[in-house]
Amino acid sequence: MSQLPERYQAAIAPLIDKAREFLEKGEELAAMAFVGNFTTGATVPTPLFGRGPADKDVAARSVKMLAEQLNADFVFVLMEAYSLRADKVARYEEILDEYGSLADCPASWRIDVVSLSLETRHGVWVAQVPIKPKGISKKKRTIGVPEFRHYTEVQGRFTDLLPVKEGEGGAGGTLH
């Protein structure tokens, strides 16, 4: 399945719209996780502070604990990030080895993006949307419509955040 199910699309569309609104007002996006439960209708935002690995580990554990408390159905992570220009992607590992991070590589090699990740019990949908200038303003920016891709196998500190509900499999289950 590659299409983002409507139920999830309806839950995250207002969050993406709000992020676009912030950018169009000239504001920076704070890295956030939104933990949601369809049964209760609750979606709880939680900021993701810190730049270092230890801070990110703490943030991921906090999101995981919140997801367990809410018996969450999804975790949606939204943040500004860097991506490489298409002509530099093949050199990703080399660039990381040389510079340590995309933030430290030459600015002409990278593009500003909004990185979006939606974890469900049926896999993870991921999108990166380039941030573009809005009009002639140097501060106001905007993003287009994200095109999510579905993955059933992902790794990283911000994965496997959902609790497994009784009678259900893990994140790779089939969505009906």
Summarize pLDDT for 25-54 with one digit per residue, the tens: 999 999 999 999 999 999 999 998 877 778
Which residue type, as a one-letter code, is found at position 71? N
Cα-Cα-Cα-Cα torsion 100, 132, 16, 18, nearest 10 degrees, comes to 110
The vertex-129 CA angle with 88 and 17, nearest 5°, equals: 165
How far is residue 80's CA from residue 152's CA, in Å, rounded to a whole number? Answer: 24
User: Angle at the Cα of 41 (from 79 to 145), degrees rounded to 5?
Assistant: 35
Taking only the tens place, the pLDDT of each residue in 2-27 is: 688 999 999 999 999 999 999 999 99
- Please report the pLDDT score of residue 49 as a whole number: 80
User: How far apart are the C-alpha atoms of 92 and 71, rounded to whole Å?
Assistant: 37
Average pLDDT over residues 92-96: 92
Q: Report DSSP letters for 70-103, one per residue.
A: HT-SEEEEEEEEEEE-GGGGGGHHHHHHHHSSGG
What percentage of residues in the chain have a pLDDT greater than 70?
A: 93
* Cα–Cα distance, 152 to 172 (Å, whole number): 5
Q: What number of helices (H) and strands (E) belong to the chain?
A: 3, 7
> What is the DSSP track for 15-60?
HHHHHHHHHHTTPPPPPEEEEE-TTT--EEEEE---SSHHHHHHHH
DSSP-derived 3-state class of residue 126: strand
Q: What is the pLDDT of residues 117-150, one digit of tens each?
A: 999 988 899 999 999 999 888 899 999 999 999 9
Residue 168 has a pLDDT of 62
